[in-house]
Chain A
């Protein structure tokens, strides 16, 4: 098994499709990645040979659907090196964080403290603010260094006996910085705080050995990991899932319903009220299997070589400023930059005219933008299927924007 980018590209139909007559250089993977044939096939197979509701019917299609759905859970669990019944399917990463904030949050007391960081995505800020409104918990914020990393030197002084949870991005969606999870977990244990990681930007770059991280909760999104939209996953330690009350009520999540009293199903079912997104879950399972088949040592080296090409190229363009870690260590393939005197949306719009798709703006990280007094950044986020031609088109477009719009 060795890494060959052309062979990976061939598995993604959209990469060879013409968009307005030209192929697209897709560098917006941090927002949504593209999806391979293996995922499309898995969803189509379900829809055409097994479409039915899960966990209810006794007919053959229902049994096939249930089997495919639970197999998908096992595939996701395998990707995280955890047990299948510790994996909850959710509507996405945001939904998973909201689930934890609501259900685990309801076990907290007024005055308990939660620690976030300045570089969190809004999805790892707002659910906790809602919990603060409902429950009177307090939020502490770890600052970010000038290199765009969570400043763990500041964490010890934020820890108190009332700190119950530290919830951080495993990899920043703006700077690509990788969190030093070991340091966070070690510090959290000194006060008995739990640790949750938002793995949305980490999962698309290879399997994660969650037990080895020593965290309590791990969440991620399907559509950023080559899977369908409308699906995500939460992993939690079984003792947490067992203690947590339901988030949503409805079918499937119950033990027994009477008007006097209703009992809950055991996890993970307790947290999957109603008909789940069956096809998307099956697609996510297929995406995890597809990812496990990739040579990640080779893929990561390839991705980081492209990051180096992006950084070297941008540094040669007058007015371009990199934002984030200055090197390749402890980072994933996300590069943010600004172009002096040109708004990021104008950079992105110009790049679109060169067939290059990037994201520009605040990246749902307004507190981080405020911290650095930025209107936004232009973000290049890579996947294993990107190649040098994508980067060269990007750099040509940025040079053009620098020449025409400054």
Chain B
């Protein structure tokens, strides 16, 4: 049996559910759907006066990869501006093999997704939602 995709780190990130839920008073929210698989991510952010993310919460109706990615994103996004999020996204894209270079923590956990092209968008969907929320 070849069970390389669901490695412990990805499962642990998903189960940690970091940032899962809603914000009581978000500055902005955005929802993104993946029409191919039906995954849906809603992201709430509260921004501080400088435009940095003060709080982030996500609701994921999607697969384990999408949940793990949202959880990883929530664990590092506080204090970031839109440009910082783009750098985090680059890490995720590097992890899944869409960009050259080495991915940093926590997104390096997604390296097993490189071999599963049809699942890479699952990892990137939370970034799409956050980008829209910050736009």
Contact = CB atoms under 8 A, between A and B. Distances in A.
A280 B122 CA distance: 35
Contacts of A400: 1, 3
A339 to B, nearest CB: 12
Interface residues of A, number: 19
Interface string B25-63: 000000000000111000000000000000000000111
Contacts of A350: 3, 6
Contacts of A404: 3, 6, 11
A325 interface: no
Interface in B37-94: 37-39, 61-67
Given A375-B61, A405-B11, A405-B64, A345 B3 contact: no
Interface of A is mostly: helix
Nearest to A21: B2
Given A353-B1, A366-B38, A405-B11, A375 B62 contact: yes
A178 interface: no
A345 B64 CA distance: 8
5 contacts: A346-B6, A349-B119, A354-B1, A362-B38, A369-B38
B45 to A, nearest CB: 24
A361 B6 contact: no
Contacts of B11: 404-405
B1 A345 contact: no
Contacts of B122: 345
A345 B118 CA distance: 11
B38 A353 contact: no
Contacts, number: 47
A366 B35 CA distance: 10
Contacts of A376: 37-38
Nearest to B60: A343
Interface in A76-106: none
Interface in A362-397: 362, 366, 369, 375-376
A20 B64 CA distance: 25
Contacts of A345: 37, 39, 63, 119, 122
B5 interface: yes
Given A375-B61, A376-B38, 10 more contacts: A343-B66, A344-B63, A345-B37, A346-B6, A346-B63, A346-B65, A349-B6, A361-B38, A376-B37, A404-B11
Nearest to B62: A343
A342 B67 CA distance: 11
Interface size class of B (residues with CB under 8 A): 20 to 34
A126 to B, nearest CB: 13
A259 B99 CA distance: 55
Nearest to A345: B63
Contacts of B62: 343, 375
Given A342-B64, A346-B63, A346-B64, A361 B37 contact: yes
A404 B122 CA distance: 20
Nearest to B36: A361
Interface centre among A20, A345, A369 (most CB of B within 10 A): A345
A345 B62 CA distance: 8
A349 B10 CA distance: 14
A350 B116 CA distance: 12
Interface in A336-359: 342-346, 349-350, 353-354
Interface centre among A343, A361, A405 (most CB of B within 10 A): A343
A361 B62 CA distance: 10
Interface centre among B1, B38, B122 (most CB of A within 10 A): B38
Interface in B79-118: 116
A404 B63 CA distance: 14
Nearest to B11: A405
B37 A353 contact: no
Contacts of B4: 353
B61 A353 contact: no
Contacts of A361: 37-38
